[in-house]
Structure 1
């Protein structure tokens, strides 16, 4: 959705912009108009699916901890929660 520039500041990538709630707990991303190589549109549901797939303990992705800043992510990844409790919604 975003990438870090040379100064480690987030810059738009697949998201053209985003907003952060006043309490800093909710990020809302607006996606660029993008397509997969087969011509299908890239959707918010694709990102929700990907994040939850990374966190699925059955997949044992070593990078899953990078998503622990999302509420419910660590619990799901460590088997103490479920995918529905991961607070990423499309």
Structure 2
């Protein structure tokens, strides 16, 4: 019988990599207009889990910076406007 040598933290990191793709290191210019998952959640009045799910599904464009997710303010505006347009134009 084999025992697992993975700690809960390692397992969580593996799950995040599988869910959001490999960690990438990209530089963000000083003063870049980006939001955190927490900020997006607060602006939408939803949980951070919901924001992570939107990113995972590809509904909300995002940038991975090491193990953090950042959303550009422009991508956030487009996301909100697209949903607002759906509400205004019922099919």
Does the TM-score normalized on the shorter chain lie above 0.5? no
1 or 2 for the larger relative contact order (CA 8 Å, sep ≥6)?
2
For the pair shown, the structure with the greater C-alpha radius of gyration is 2
Instruction: Tell me the TM-score normalised to structure 1 length.
Output: 0.26
If each structure's helix is expressed as a fraction of its own residues, which one has the higher value? 2
If each structure's strand is expressed as a fraction of its own residues, which one has the higher value? 1
Instruction: Tell me the TM-score normalised to structure 2 length.
Output: 0.26
